[in-house]
Chains A and B, each alone.
Chain A
Amino acid sequence: MNFLQIENLTKIYPNGVKALDNLSLNISNGLFGLLGPNGAGKSSLMRSIASLQTPSSGKILFNGNDIVENPQEVRKHFGYLPQNFGVYPKISVQELLNHLAILKGVNKQTDRRNQVEALLVQTNLYAHRKKAVATFSGGMKQRFGIAQALLGNPQLIIVDEPTAGLDPEERNRFLNLLSEIGEEVIVILSTHIVEDVRDLCPEMAILANGKIIAQGNPVKLTESLEGKIWSKSINKELLEVYKNRFNVISTRFFAGKFQIQVFSNEKPEDGFNQIPPDLENYFFSKLSSQQF
């Protein structure tokens, strides 16, 4: 069993931006979803855990090893897919994966070959294994990114916005792969796509303004909203009026009509229908409560 403990983590960038604010979190084996809007500090948190930046204060412990003080020890167990990354030009996927496997410490050539091959197959890149990664399209590059994150023997896999740019089929393959692996290791899935978390993660947290504003099992968290989400189709011009009067957590078009969702313990007014809550409602309600 692996444990990641984050204690009172704060990161202030030289330009004064406070990306993480006294954040604490405990994570163990399994898929952990980190949900947050853009700019919430997800990447900062991921980069801090991956030891690509040092926090201003606070501790990160992996299986009792301090990541800040002793990054080298923890790096043996990392698998990391950054949000954005580039590659060396003119080097094929296979070569690059092989190189990265060596860097990860997969010494045996057969191990390396088998693992690289398996990853190429599972990321559906096998046919392109001789092609330079630099020539890949966004989705293919992303698949390569996933493959490299799984090289070696990762115990702590951090994937930052992994499904961006993947088509639904690719996304499914990838999520399956992750959930398989996630039984034995920690997988932190950082994303702003609610479905990813909903479908996969037994455990999740919502990050906003550098703080964890909610944490728990997605199903249970959603259940807490049972009977409190109301929906109504309105004229779009009236949105401001509704916003002033009710706690509007989200809006959307549904079948051509403008709908608002309102968080309320009882029926706000006529015309609102109670709807069964989903994770998205939960996410938005948490975010909107954060704004007040």
Chain B
Amino acid sequence: MMQSLINFEIRYQQKQKSFVGFALLFLILGFLLGKQGFAPPNVDFNSHFQIFYNSALISLSCVFPIMFFCISGVLRDKQYEMESLVYATPIQKNNFFLSRFYGVFLFSLISFSTFLIGFFLGTQMPNLDSERLQNFELLSYLWIWMILIVPNIFICTSLIFSVSLLSKNSLATYMIAIAIYALYWICSVFINSPLLANTAPTNPEILNLAAIADPFGLSAFFEQTQYWSVLQKNENFISLSGKFLWNRFVWLCFSGLILIWSYKKFDFKISRNDPKGKSAEMKSIAPETKYVRVQIETSEKSSLLQFFSLLKIELKYIFGNLPFIAVSIIWVVLILTEILSKINHVETYNDSLLPATNLLIREITNTIHFFGLLLVIFYSGELVWRERSLNLNGVINVTPSSNATFFLAKGISLLFIPISILVIGVFVCIGFQISKSYFFFEIGQYIDLFYYSGITFVFYSMLSLFLQNLIQKKHLAMLITGIVAIVFGTSIAQNIGLEHPMLQIGNMPEITFSNMNGYGRTSFHYFAIYWLSFGLLLTFFSFRLWKRREAESRTRWKQIFSKFKKAYWWAFFGLFAIFLTSGFIIFYNTNIAVEYISSEENLNRREAYEKKYKQYENLQKLVLVDAKTEMNLYPEQGKYDFKANYILENTGDSIVIQILITENEALKNLSVENATLLEHDTKLGTYLFIFKKPVIPGQKVKFSYEIEYKSNGFTANKSLLENGSYLMHNSFEPSLSYNENFEIQDHMEREKRNLPKKEEELVREDDILNDQNSSFRKIDFETIVSTETGQIALAPGDLLCHWKENGRNYFQYKSPHKIAMFIAYFSADYAVQKEEYKEISIEQYYHPPHFFNIDKIENSSKMALDYCLQNFGDYPLDHLRIAEIPSLWNFGGQALPGTISMVEDRLYLIDDRNPQHFDLVAKRTIHEVAHQYWGHILTPKNTEGAAIFTEGFAKYTEAVVMEKLYGKSAVIQLSEQANERYFSERAFAEQQESPLYLSNGESYLSYGKNYISMLATKELIGEEKVNSVLKSLLGKFKDDVEPKLTSLDFLKELYKVTPKNHQNLIDDWFKKIITYDLKVDFLKLEKLENESYKIEFEVTARKFEDKENGEVVSVSIDEPIQIGVFTENPNRLQNDDQIIYLKPHRINKGKMKFSIVVKQLPKFITIDPLATRLDAKRIDNIDRVSKF
């Protein structure tokens, strides 16, 4: 019996088109993913790690095939009204249950497993870098199949099958599938999963929890591999142990229980309600009315009545049903978590952002897009086929209502879905703002959201209605619409060669909103018209294809143009004309007005550039020593004119004959003194000049050029905005030599084009001393910046004068001393706050509504200046400017000489109202102010290890000033973050790690290890001694016109103030790659007589070194490390009074026992509480002190 049932199930499912479809889909998906060669740097494409990662990621989408199979496997009896037959047969409940489950599970598993085959085939494609491919290992695939795919499919099948079986409702089945999928992403957002490629590291405590809670095992996978090196990623198998084993166990048990439960609940009976008895029939007194036929009309009025009656029925169906209510709840949860996770405690130090409307909208837009599209696609199928699936079409379709009425009612009701999604979203946002007592609702922005997000929905509604009408198969049409949405909504379109935005169906240009600039110039409206008119054309066809009767296929196509009324022709050609016109406008602006460069063409040019000019790479260079510029900004019109007069100098010791200039923006009136233009390549934007007489060492040459730039809104340019322009000099100025950055970087691409391989060289001490290539000079700088009235223009330098001319504002800036050429021009409608402080004018330029943190920024600047003036030396300028720039920039801030740019949402919109929170405003301000000393006054040689002076010293200053302001708790938070950053980012580093003093600006070293090493040094030798080193370096090197300071100078100074016996530690931290594994275990607490406590504990300490060959070896340990006793968890410290004891102890053995006597009742014992040692597992550095 069972056997034959299963066999039938197999035959049945096998015949379903969806089975073939999904099997193919996953095969193709696997193939594409395999062929794409997607892996973190240096990890092999088909390493076990990578296959696992890909499979796990894709396995999230296994809910969709399962959903389909559940509908065909579980709901088919109801759908085809077979229930009464099936349930009347002698099949037993358990046989029925098991065979159906088995069918769904087996076919979901088979169709998904093709992914692995596809992936394997993909990795066999010749386009992949063979060096990053391992030999095929069947076991690797099988293992993943066993521990990942089979359980995941089983878990998802159990859940979806149970819902399907118990609800006997296809919409509920869709919803549970989507809910699993959506909830998964919510959780990823919530736990800040590495899945989302966030830079901020995942909190280890949360990851531990997620590792168990995640039904797909992805988080457990991340937990297991989070600190894996490249070598491990290439060689290790995922082991079925630890959290991963637990995860599998817990979830398999859980799904088993769910199955048993649903088996118990499942009622093996017909699901229809019992008919109400006849008894009621007699009671009611029927009025005496006689049936008469009544006249009918087919007028406009009847169409209108019909439309609304139909709409009412559809809307009642959509909104009055449990699935939609469930969807709404999921939706509210989804955006709330999204907002909470992106606004609340988002920043690395648990700080929140102000719930400004634009930030909320920014966070929910993607979710709205994804969720809305999903619903539109599902409901379009449900709505179009509703009467047919209810078998009501016979009744409805014979009525004289016109096709247009039916069609419009369906279409409009479909639009209600995204609209309601948006409305709910807006209400949740406003509610959130109120809960945060933020009352600037900016309703206008919410209304705009309907336009900017709505257009896509309108288009996709039209598209999916069209596809439903064209294909005439509900699920197939849903699938195809989904594929269209995925292909064109993601980067897949570009990968298959559909790069041009006009070909990416329904894809709207990304809009960027900032409070300063609003939406700015955008081509959005043109694309809106373009896609809407296209959508309306589709709608026109779908309306003509509307299926009112079963027709022969030839009649169906004839139907499109049959009985074509005049109005139809007008509509058709009108739409077509709009479509063509908007298309032409877009095409003109993307391809004719400006040159359209496809990514292939871009690569071609890079290749040509390298081939043609690589020979000039080692040409003796002329160096910029003096720059006078004129920048005329026209923000309203989106253009600027720029004039530059430079003086270049031959600072080398050989003559210069030629100079190669590579433009960034098209140059005009380019002139090089005493030189003739040898060659100008308009395509590559290069100019090769030959000097009439060679330029001898020390000789100076005049050089000038102009740039006229105009933006048309079709090419994104975040530099030049209507309000809040920020033009960085290096973004448009030409390079005065061969520019290596133009070379193709991708190994594969280079190989394909037969370009020589780029070798990474190991940098050694001598190299940083002898590095001549990177020599640059501090320069004299002077500029005149002009902008329209109503805006203030800024640039580095003293403001010499300011005047108005021709209705424009002019500002002349000149730097009083030589500066590093790190220049930008600002222009915006700024509010200004100035404060004279110790003869320095602290000037803030900010967007007027962003007044929240202005005073705090000012105070923090004062604190930072105070500390620097006291400990390091004079501040050479009479001003310190801090200016706001729009949130389109993705950095925190930039320190130009004397002028700091800070980004809207990274400083001005931080919610700093809660004094308990880490003061991120102060931290960021102090950091950038510190850069005035560390980077500008003290400028290191531009070579490896320079980041110690810039970021290392700035982070150090940040820490000491923050400690002055907020005590040790601030330091601990900074340290924890730096430590986390080091370990999480280095796991994905592209190159082998170098020691600090030879680092190449990798952010995990610059902001992570630099800080930890400086802090460790400070705790080792004391703040005063560190400051004396910094001060003496400043004294020696600040007047260098050609910066010569290297990390070796720093180490030399450091050795001088460090006791002999600890100098090896300086080497450990700065010249080697050393990590620690420290651990403390509480042993005993004893109350002594005089109100004091004796605490005993054990410290485990291990120390490791990464050797040059990538090997990690254990090294001996002998150094002072702090031990702290606290009354509160050090990570949640509120003030320094909670520290009972904090002193360094000599740690020189792997395991050591200590006992300490303290005056207060201790709660926590820690080793290295300030996180001065790099330790991947910080959590065991703390142990709770139990009672006696």
Among A88, A136, A181, point to the contact of B392 (Cβ < 8 A): A88
User: Which of B392, B398, B402 contacts A86, CB < 8 Å?
Assistant: B392
Please report the C-alpha to C-alpha distance between residue A270 and residue B322 in the assembled complex, in whole angstroms: 72
In the complex, whether B914 has a CB less than 8 A from a CB of chain A is: no
Chain B, residue nearest A152 (CB): B296
The answer, yes or no, to whether B290 is at the interface (CB within 8 Å) is: yes
A102 on the B face (CB < 8 A)? yes
Report if A207 contacts B (CB, 8 A): no
CA–CA, A69 and B963, complex, Å:
87
Complex Cα distance A75/B273, Å? Answer: 34
Q: Which residues of A contact B552 (CB under 8 A)?
A: 54, 56
* Interface bits A54-90 vs B (CB < 8 Å: 1, else 0): 1010000000000000011001101010101111101
Bound-state CA distance A79–B395 (Å) is: 9
Say whether B296 contacts A103, CB under 8 Å.
no
User: Could you tell me the distance between the alpha carbons of A185 and B292 in the complex, rounded to whole angstroms?
Assistant: 12
> A131 on the interface (CB 8 Å rule)?
yes
Cα(A291)–Cα(B187), bound, Å: 70
A52 proximity list for chain B (CB < 8 A): 393-394, 397-398, 549-550
Return B140 CB to nearest CB of chain A, in Å: 48
- Residues of B near A131 (CB, < 8 A) are 276
Q: Does B1134 contact A (CB under 8 A)?
A: no
User: Is the C-beta of B693 less than 8 angstroms from some C-beta in chain A?
Assistant: no
Q: Is the CB–CB distance between A135 and B294 below 8 Å?
A: no
B296 → chain A, closest Cβ, in Å?
A: 4
**Cross-chain contact of A128 among B281, B392, B548 (Cβ < 8 A):** B281
What residues of A have a CB within 8 angstroms of the CB of B522 in the complex?
Answer: none
Interface residues of A in 208-226 (CB under 8 A from B): none
- Minimum Cβ distance to chain A for residue B755 (Å): 58
**Chain B residue, CB-CB nearest to A80:** B398
CB-CB under 8 A from B399, the residues of chain A are 75, 78, 100, 103-105
The answer on a CB contact under 8 Å between B273 and A107 is no
**Interface 1/0s, chain A 104-127, versus B by CB < 8 A?**
111110011011011111101011
Instruction: List 11 extra interface pairs beyond A75-B399, A105-B298, A107-B301, CB under 8 A.
Output: A52-B393, A85-B391, A85-B392, A85-B395, A86-B391, A102-B309, A103-B306, A126-B287, A127-B280, A135-B276, A150-B293
Q: Are the CB atoms of B401 and A118 closer together than 8 Å?
A: no
Chain A, Cβ-Cβ closest to B406: A103
Task: Give per-residue flags for A149-176: 1 if the beta carbon is below 8 A from chain B beta carbons, else 0.
Answer: 0101110000000000000000000000
Bitwise, B1031-1068 to A at CB < 8 A (1) or not (0) is 00000000000000000000000000000000000000
Bound state CA distance, A128 and B57, in angstroms?
54
How far, in angstroms, from A21 to B936 measured CA to CA in the complex?
95
User: Do residues A128 and B276 form an inter-chain contact, with CB atoms below 8 A?
Assistant: yes
Chain B residue nearest in CB terms to A95: B313
Across the interface, do B395 and A54 meet the contact criterion of CB distance under 8 Å? no
For the complex, is B683 an interface residue (Cβ under 8 Å from A)? Answer: no
Asked if A107 and B390 make an inter-chain contact with CB atoms under 8 angstroms apart, the answer reads: no
Question: Known: A88-B390, A150-B291, A153-B293. Contact between A72 and B402, CB under 8 A?
Answer: yes
Residue B286 CB within 8 A of the other chain = yes
Residue of B nearest to A12 (CB): B552
B82 at the interface (CB under 8 A from A): no
Question: When the two chains form their complex, are residues A50 and B398 in contact, meaning their CB atoms are under 8 A apart?
Answer: yes
CB neighbours of B320 from chain A (8 A): 90
Q: Which residues from B are CB-within-8-Å of A142?
A: none
Minimum CB–CB distance from A135 to chain B (whole Å) comes to 5
Q: Which residues of B approach A to under 8 Å, CB–CB?
A: 273, 275-276, 280-284, 286-299, 301-302, 305-306, 309-310, 312-313, 316-317, 320, 390-402, 548-552, 555
Query: Does chain B have a CB within 8 A of A290?
Result: no
CB of A115 within 8 A of CB of B313, answer: no
Q: Could you list 27 examples of A-B contacts with CB < 8 Å?
A: A47-B550, A51-B398, A51-B548, A54-B552, A54-B555, A56-B552, A84-B391, A85-B394, A85-B395, A86-B392, A88-B317, A98-B309, A102-B306, A102-B309, A105-B306, A107-B299, A108-B294, A111-B295, A121-B287, A126-B284, A126-B287, A127-B281, A127-B284, A128-B276, A128-B280, A135-B276, A181-B293
Identity of the chain A residue whose Cβ is nearest the Cβ of B296 in the assembled complex: A105
Minimum CB–CB distance for A31 against chain B, Å? 16
Contact A53 B550 (CB under 8 A): yes
Cross-chain contact B287 with A152 (CB below 8 angstroms):
no
Q: How far is the CA of A54 from the CA of B273 in the complex (A)?
A: 36
Give CA–CA (A99, B307) in the complex, Å.
10
Query: A71 touches which one: B291, B313, B548 (CB < 8 A)?
Result: B548
A residues in contact with B394, CB < 8 Å: 47, 50, 52, 80, 82, 85
Q: Please give, as numbers and ranges, the residues of chain A lying within 8 Å of B549 by CB-CB distance.
A: 51-54, 71
Give A56 to B551 CA distance when docked, in angstroms: 9
> How far apart are A233's CB and chain B's nearest CB, in angstroms?
36
Q: Which residues of A contact B310 (CB under 8 A)?
A: 99, 103
Mark A187-214 against chain B: 1 for CB-CB distance below 8 A, else 0.
0000000000000000000000000000
| CB pair A117 B287 closer than 8 Å | yes
A85 to B389, CA, bound (A): 10
**Do A76 and B283 form a contact, CB below 8 Å, given A91-B313, A128-B276, A148-B395?**
no
Chain B minimum-CB-distance residue to A53: B550
A54 touches B293 (CB 8 A): no
Q: Is A177 in the interface zone, CB < 8 Å from B? A: yes
Of A50, A86, A124, A152, which contacts B390 at CB under 8 A?
A86
A51→B313 CA distance, assembly (Å): 24
* B294, A152: Cβ atoms closer than 8 Å: yes
B contact residues around A235 at 8 Å (CB): none
* Least CB separation from B279: chain A residue: A127
What CA separation (Å) do A185 and B293 show in the bound complex? 11
Decide if A239 is an interface residue (CB 8 Å cutoff): no
Q: Is A140 interfacial (CB 8 A cutoff)?
A: yes
Provide the residues of chain A in CB contact with B288, threshold 8 Å.
121
The 9 closest A-B pairs by CB, nearest first: A137-B275, A127-B284, A105-B296, A82-B394, A53-B550, A86-B391, A103-B399, A118-B289, A86-B390
Q: How far is the CA of A119 from the CA of B291 in the complex (A)?
A: 6
Minimal beta-carbon separation of B198 from chain A (angstroms):
45
Which chain B residue lies CB-closest to A79? Answer: B398
Report whether A121 and B397 are in contact in the complex, using a CB–CB cutoff of 8 Å: no
Given A87-B390, A107-B301, A107-B305, answer yes or no on A75-B400 (Cβ-Cβ < 8 Å). Answer: yes
B-side contacts of A84, CB under 8 Å: 391
User: In the complex, are the beta carbons of A140 and B275 less than 8 A apart?
Assistant: yes
Residues of B contacting A98 in the complex (Cβ-Cβ under 8 angstroms): 309
Residue numbers in A under 8 Å from B396 (CB-CB):
100, 103
A179 to B363, CA, bound (A): 68
- Give the interface centre of B280, B281, B287, B400 by most chain A CB atoms within 10 Å: B400
**B283 surroundings in chain A (CB, below 8 A):** 127
Q: Which residues of B contact A56 (CB under 8 A)?
A: 552
Q: A103-B309, A105-B302, A128-B280 are in contact. Are A76 and B286 (CB under 8 A)?
A: no
**Do B284 and A107 touch across chains, with their CB atoms under 8 A apart?**
no
The answer for the CA separation of A119 and B292 in the assembled complex, in Å, is 9
B389 and chain A: residue at smallest CB distance: A86
Known interface pairs A76-B400, A80-B395. Does A90 touch B316 (Cβ–Cβ under 8 Å)?
yes
Contacts of B273 in A (CB 8 A): 134-135
Measured in the bound complex, the distance between the Cα atoms of B296 and A108 in whole Å is 9
* Residue in contact with B395 in the complex, picked from A82, A90, A127, CB distance below 8 Å: A82
CB distance from B941 to the nearest CB of A (A): 78
Residues on B with C-beta less than 8 A from A100 are 395-396, 399
Q: In the bound complex, how far is the Cα of B1058 from the Cα of A183, in angstroms?
A: 117
* Complex Cα spacing A79 to B212, Å: 62
Q: Which residue of B296, B309, B548, B550 contacts A99 across the interface (Cβ within 8 Å)?
A: B309
The listed residue (A50, A82, A99, A115) touching B292 by CB distance below 8 A is A115
Output the nearest chain A residue to B314 by Cβ-Cβ distance.
A88
Are B395 and A76 touching (Cβ within 8 A)? no
> Which residues of chain A are within 8 angstroms of B280 by Cβ–Cβ distance?
127-128
B170 to chain A, nearest CB (A): 13
Q: Least Cβ distance of B854 to chain A in Å?
A: 58
With a cutoff of 8 Å between Cβ atoms, the chain B residues found around residue A124 in the complex are: 281
Please name the residue on chain A nearest to B284 by beta carbon.
A127
* Least CB separation from B293: chain A residue: A153
Q: How far is the CA of A138 from the CA of B280 in the complex (A)?
A: 16
